[in-house]
Structure 1
């Protein structure tokens, strides 16, 4: 037991009975109870396995690597549309938790086996969207298309993130125009352009000394 978790449970304004019951279930497993991210967190050999928490409409038992669990009963759901690894079991009543206790313990045991086996979730990297302002320039210039395609994925992503970060179209256009020569030169957004950097190909700010 963790004193911070005990305090959290005693002061919970929503779903208190449910949270106390969930914590009792998890405490009856080999997991270690810790306090992380302002919530009860349960670990195995210092690796995060599960969380319990309360929201306005429900309380949850969350598995960090829930996507690797078999979930024969289909009780696990994604906490967010784009979530890849975590999965949660949502509850809206104490009775639901009581009825699922054996199942929850079985899922926890499976999650522990996942950690023992060293399994990892294969996270798919989402492609960075191309802002319209840059796409227009690409469509207008085959040379720019070729130069951008020749950059490493990391350098491409760096440019796209920088362009997209601007909220206004005019600012995005200005950024695109500024870096077109650098892209055509085959350099990433953080690459040295003056040749003076001591950390080539990265820029270390040496260009600032040029007068």
Structure 2
């Protein structure tokens, strides 16, 4: 999210609309997040080419005006965005309609069920390291399947061997400590 002042007036309008609804405001991930009984419902922000309001469980919204988009197709399961490029596009009644439906969906407890975890094969690059460092391997297999997956993906995403090597050196102490790559971002 951009911290520029490009959309300041527009974001204030969105904040005003949201604040009139029965939601609690909190700060999460450096942004205002509006919750219903502790469940994330909606937030907003400004980016380079647009400003947006997003619904954390937007996948369940009926979307009668066909305004919602999936920001990261193939990655984002539930979150949906409503993007704007000008103040004229803001319609308080329509936004309120969507937020009220999102609140009702929270009351119903609608959730996407997590996919069954599929174990990924250990990449050759990582396996070679395990073959030479049995201690590292023993710590790795003690990690949860989800943490193992984080490390495997992290190594697999690197294209160049030099990058894989840098990443391997970064993750070794984390594996030995028994912590996940992304634990610092989790509550």
TM-score (norm 2): 0.63
Give the 3-state SS of the residue equivalent to 1:113 in structure 2.
helix
Q: In structure 1, list runs of 5 or more residues that go unmatched.
A: 1-10, 135-153, 173-211
Aligned to 1:29: 21
Match for residue 168 of structure 2?
A: none
Contact 1:128–1:161, Cα closer than 8 Å, also in 2:
no
Equivalence map 1:1-211=2 (5 Å): 13-81=5-73, 82-97=75-90, 100-124=91-115, 130=121, 133=124, 158=148, 162=152, 165=155, 167=158
Asked if 1 retains the 8 angstrom alpha-carbon contact of 2:44 and 2:52, the reply is yes
Question: C-alpha displacement at 1:155, in angstroms?
Answer: 6.0
Q: Which has the larger radius of gyration?
A: 1
Q: Which runs of 4+ in 1 moved over 3 A?
A: 123-134, 154-164, 166-169
CA distance in 2, matches of 1:60, 1:128: 35
Higher RCO structure, 1 or 2 (CA under 8 Å, sep 6+): 2
Contact 2:120 2:152 in 1 (8 A): no
| Root-mean-square deviation over aligned CA pairs | 3.7
Residue correspondences, number: 148
Identify unmatched segments of 5+ residues in structure 2: 126-143, 166-187
TM-score by length of 1: 0.57
